A = this chain, B = another copy of it.
Amino acid sequence: MSVARPRPLSGFPEFLPSQRAAEQRVVDSLRETFELHGYASLATRSVEPLDELLRKGETSNEVYVLRRLHAEGGDADSGVGLHFDLTVPLARYVRENAGRLQFPFRRYEISRCWRGERPQEGRYREFTQADVDVIGENELPADADAEVTVVMAEALSRLPLPPVELRVSNRRLVEGFYRGVGIADPAAVMASIDKLDKAGEAAVREMLGALGLDPAQTEQCLALARVRGSDAGFADEVLALGVRDPLLDAGLSDLTAALEAAAPASSERFAVVADLKIARGLDYYTGIVFEGFTAAHGTMSVCAGGRYDALASDGRTTYPGVGVSLGVTRLLAPLIGRGLLDTDRAVPSCVLVALPDEDARPACREIARQLRARGIATELAPRPDRYGRQLRYADRRGIPYVWFPGQPDQVKDIRSGDQTPADAMSWSPPAADLRPRLVTQEPS
């Protein structure tokens, strides 16, 4: 099995153990917040039939289809592909299990997704998403819009990650406004407005002209897209544009209510702002839409979502939903890759039990067992080397404590050098030392 050193696969990020511990701490924290809000965990299968995956059309060329390597002839494709998001599996799962679910159905899923894209900074072929959604049966109160916003705000506010600005708009507001200025095809205009951040206003002005908007309509659309604010004042700005339409009024009222309900969850780490240029390219959004950004990730959003009045339907029953999807890999991998996010240990161990000599191994094993029984992650030194070497073993792995068996036992904090007598039946480290700590640096 003598072979050359393998190289990483582009678009399939992997971490070293201390980095993986950081990813896991983040995922555990997200999960804890989601569960505190009553969201149930789902782990949908990784594959869907191709007709489920291709329902949205536009993403079809990103799908990885599974083929059995040694399947015969025409039977090669399995007819299934890897999911590229967690919304398609959710819609299918709800239709498949509707009779056995309780609505409103709150679920989170933190799972891997795959896209056969050309990899580049922030785009991966394999990546983890963390989604929260609330699904109703035929109806879903407007209150759910604010709820998912608050859940994501709390989840991200607890973590020492770059501050997120969640920009919020409402499709009904925007559609109503477009209708009010006499635009026939609001979807095409929204698709152009969605390009504002990347293409700039001049380019979008041309696009809107090419769609047949007259200059006054174009300027109104651009003016709406400029509206931004962290409180209800944005509504006055919209009204000041002088457009009137019942759908606009309804959307404005929904968005104002969602912003008000989400306001208490705003923090230094997570700001919720109305930003009416947020359109989200996807057809199925029908109400509130969000997109979250961090300064560290430029113009690429780290979370996104919105309301869809028909996530799924079985003909008789329609399942409206609202949700937010956080790009865990997109958020973390660049930080980890640049050394801005890590943990202080390569192992979960809090204590290394030193081994004075080979005969002491059973007694040392018993010390380790006693510490573990009280929730303290412990490993045993592999060999009865001299103590200086055993201390270096701990140091290289970031293990904070070394335990020396004796009469009495002693425990040394290798960071401070402090050494004190200790009993494995009662000694505990400070709570912050029990698990690896997240270590962050500001981007320079």
- Judge whether A96 and B40 touch: CB under 8 Å: no
Judge whether B43 and A96 touch: CB under 8 Å: no
Selected from B8, B114, B378, the residue in CB contact (under 8 A) with A96 is B8
Given contacts A35-B377, A71-B116, A377-B35, contact A6 B95 (CB under 8 A): yes
A-B contact pairs, 19 of them (CB 8 A): A2-B315, A3-B315, A4-B314, A6-B49, A6-B95, A12-B45, A14-B43, A14-B44, A16-B97, A24-B41, A36-B377, A37-B372, A37-B379, A38-B348, A40-B347, A46-B126, A64-B68, A65-B68, A67-B67
CB-CB under 8 A for A61 and B68, given A17-B42, A37-B379, A40-B347? yes
Contact with B along A367-394 (1 / 0, CB 8 A): 0000010011111001100000000000
- CB pair A42–B20 under 8 Å, yes or no, is yes
A38 pairs with B349, CB closer than 8 A: yes
Contact of A40 among B55, B78, B348 (CB under 8 A): B348
Which residues of chain B have C-beta atoms less than 8 A from A42's C-beta? Answer: 17, 20
Closest chain B residue to A365, Cβ basis? B261
The residue in chain B whose Cβ has the minimal distance to the Cβ of A397 is B102
Q: Which residues of B contact A97 (CB under 8 A)?
A: 16
Answer yes or no: A100 CB below 8 A from chain B CBs. yes
Quick check: A7 and B65 within 8 Å, CB to CB? no
Interface residue ranges, A against B (CB under 8 Å): 1-9, 12-17, 20-21, 23-24, 35-47, 49-50, 52, 55, 60-71, 77-78, 80-82, 92-93, 95-98, 100-102, 104, 106-107, 112, 114, 116, 126, 141, 143, 261, 310, 312-315, 346-349, 361, 365, 372, 375-379, 382-383, 396-397
Question: Which residues of chain B are within 8 angstroms of A49 by Cβ–Cβ distance?
Answer: 6, 9
- Given A5-B98, A141-B383, 9 new contacts (CB under 8 A): A1-B55, A2-B315, A3-B95, A16-B97, A35-B348, A40-B347, A63-B68, A102-B397, A104-B382
User: Does B40 contact A20, Cβ atoms closer than 8 Å?
Assistant: yes
The residue in A55, A379, A396 that gathers the most chain B C-beta atoms within 10 A of its C-beta is A379
Contact B65 A1 (CB under 8 A): no
**Contact A107 B2, beta carbon cutoff 8 Å:** no
Indicate if the CB atoms of B314 and A2 lie closer than 8 Å: yes
> How distant is the Cα of A52 from the Cα of B40 in the complex, in angstroms?
37
Do B68 and A66 touch across chains, with their CB atoms under 8 A apart?
A: no
Contact of A106 among B40, B67, B70, B347 (CB under 8 A): B347
A379 contacts B106, CB within 8 Å?
yes
Which B residues lie within 8 Å of A143 (CB)?
361, 382
Question: How far in angstroms is the closest Cβ of chain B from A19?
Answer: 10
* Contact residues in B for A14 (Cβ distance below 8 Å): 43-45, 93
Tell me the complex Cα distance, A43–B38, Å: 27
Complexed CA–CA distance, A81 and B313 (Å) = 34
Q: How far is the CA of A361 from the CA of B1 in the complex (A)?
A: 65
Q: Are A101 and B65 in contact (CB under 8 A)?
A: no
CA distance A305 to B411 in the complex (A): 35
A71 to B116, CA, bound (A): 9
Q: A50 — which chain B residues lie within 8 A by C-beta?
A: 69
Q: Which residues of B contact A63 (CB under 8 A)?
A: 68-70
Question: Is there contact, CB below 8 Å, between A15 and B43?
Answer: yes
A364 shortest CB reach to chain B, Å: 11
Residues of B within 8 A of A397 (CB): 102
Q: How far is the CA of A13 from the CA of B17 in the complex (A)?
A: 30
A17-B61 in contact given A6-B95, A126-B45 (Cβ < 8 Å): no
Contacts of A3 in B (CB 8 A): 95, 313-315
Report whether A69 and B78 are in contact in the complex, using a CB–CB cutoff of 8 Å: no
| Distance from A85 Cβ to chain B, minimum over Cβ atoms (Å) | 15
In the bound complex, how far is the Cα of B81 from the Cα of A82, in angstroms? Answer: 12
Instruction: Give Cα A254–Cα B55 distance, bound, in whole angstroms.
Output: 58
B residues within 8 A CB of A315?
A: 2-3
Complex Cα gap A404–B75 (Å): 60
Return chain B residues, CB-CB under 8 Å to A312: 1
Determine which of B38, B44, B372 lies in contact with A378 in the assembled complex, contact meaning CB atoms within 8 Å.
B38
